[in-house]
């Protein structure tokens, strides 16, 4: 199947940005891990759709699995309940890591459908199936099928119109998860097309039937502001100087604050 969300949605844009590790990790949570995986084999140049904050970075796997976790299945081969995540861990990050493990092992979209049938899970929520498969992989289990990665898509450029729609989608805090839900609501086969439709409606001032999470809305706003900072010609060294001037704890905060002021039409105390 053609999963056009293999678009480079985690596009490693703005090579000069050199973001702070904490900022990369925060943004990578739901966005980078999904978009980085779906760009396997895809080389669609969408120049800056996600902005400076959406930079695919390396993540150290969090130690969210208790030491005594064991893999269990029922007699029918259905996976047992997922092991408990430690109280200090973020369930969202744990789920992201599981899905990352799924794609890193070479499994693709269609494999999730095959696993859903074997494990008698809902094929309507393949993200959950991928997370379960990733959980088992992280515990060292071999899955009952061989991986069949998503087929590469032909290289092509994205139109300015589609870029604007994707930008609107992500800037509003939406992610792949919401795209899948919107695809079901609108009866669109490809979630990537749902993103385009969503972006089109957002640009027209319409509300969507699915809402993004507050966390992703906040992260998208930060990304938009940081992107503006770099678009204005500022770099990391400028951010360090501004952090000292504004008495902020790190350069990332200065990038976000600088972008916020620039978007409001203000000038910054230093020139790029």
Identify the weakest region by mean pLDDT among 4-18, 84-98, 108-122, 159-173: 4-18
**Would you state the pLDDT for residue 15?**
36
**Rg over CA atoms, the chain:** 20
pLDDT surpasses 70 at 89: no
Is position 255 within any domain?
yes
42 within a domain of the structure (yes/no): no
Answer whether 65's CB lies under 8 Å from 134's CB.
no
In a domain, 118, yes or no: no
Tokens of 248: 């902020």
Segment 6-31 shows an average pLDDT of: 42
The answer to whether position 225 is within a domain reads yes
Range of the domain at 228: 214-263
What burial letters (b/e) apply to 65-76, b meaning 16+ CB within 10 Å? Answer: beeeeeeeeeee
Q: Is 256's pLDDT higher than 50?
A: yes
Residue corresponding to tokens 């910054």: 268
How many structural domains comprise the chain?
A: 1
Output the DSSP codes for 156-194: -BPPHHHHHHHHHHHHTT--HHHHHHHHHHHT-S-HHHH
CA distances (Å), 229 to each of 53, 65, 225, in order? 11, 38, 6
The four Cα atoms 37, 38, 41, 46 give a dihedral, to 10 degrees, of -120
- pTM of structure: 0.44
pLDDT-derived band at 94 (thresholds 50, 70, 90) equals confident
234 lies in some domain: yes
The reply to whether 235 falls in a domain is: yes
Question: Distance of alpha carbon 234 from its chain centroid, rounded?
Answer: 25
pLDDT of residue 126: 87
């Amino acid at each position: 199947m053609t999963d056009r969300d293999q678009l480079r949605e985690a596009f490693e844009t703005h090579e000069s940005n050199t973001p702070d590790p904490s900022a990369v990790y925060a943004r990578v949570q739901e966005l980078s891990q999904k978009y980085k995986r779906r760009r396997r084999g895809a080389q669609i140049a969408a120049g800056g759709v996600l902005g400076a904050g959406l930079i695919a970075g390396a993540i150290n796997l969090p130690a969210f699995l208790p030491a005594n976790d064991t893999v269990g299945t029922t007699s029918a081969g259905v996976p047992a309940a997922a092991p408990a995540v430690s109280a200090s861990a973020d369930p969202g990050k744990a789920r992201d890591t599981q899905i990352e493990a799924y794609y890193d092992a070479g499994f693709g979209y269609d494999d999730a459908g095959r696993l859903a049938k074997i494990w008698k899970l809902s094929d309507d929520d393949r993200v959950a199936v991928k997370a379960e498969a990733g959980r088992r992989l992280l515990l060292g289990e071999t899955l009952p099928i061989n991986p069949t990665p998503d087929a590469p898509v032909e290289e092509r450029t994205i139109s300015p119109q589609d870029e604007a729609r994707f930008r609107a989608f992500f800037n509003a805090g939406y992610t792949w998860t919401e795209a899948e839900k919107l695809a079901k609501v609108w009866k669109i086969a490809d979630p990537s097309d749902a993103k385009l439709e969503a972006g089109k409606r957002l640009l027209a001032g319409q509300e969507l039937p699915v809402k993004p999470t507050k966390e992703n809305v906040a992260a998208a706003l930060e990304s938009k502001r940081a992107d503006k900072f770099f678009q204005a010609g500022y770099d990391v060294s400028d951010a360090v100087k501004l952090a000292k001037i504004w008495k902020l704890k790190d350069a990332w905060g200065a990038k976000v604050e600088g972008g916020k002021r620039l978007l409001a039409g203000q000038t910054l105390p230093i020139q790029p």
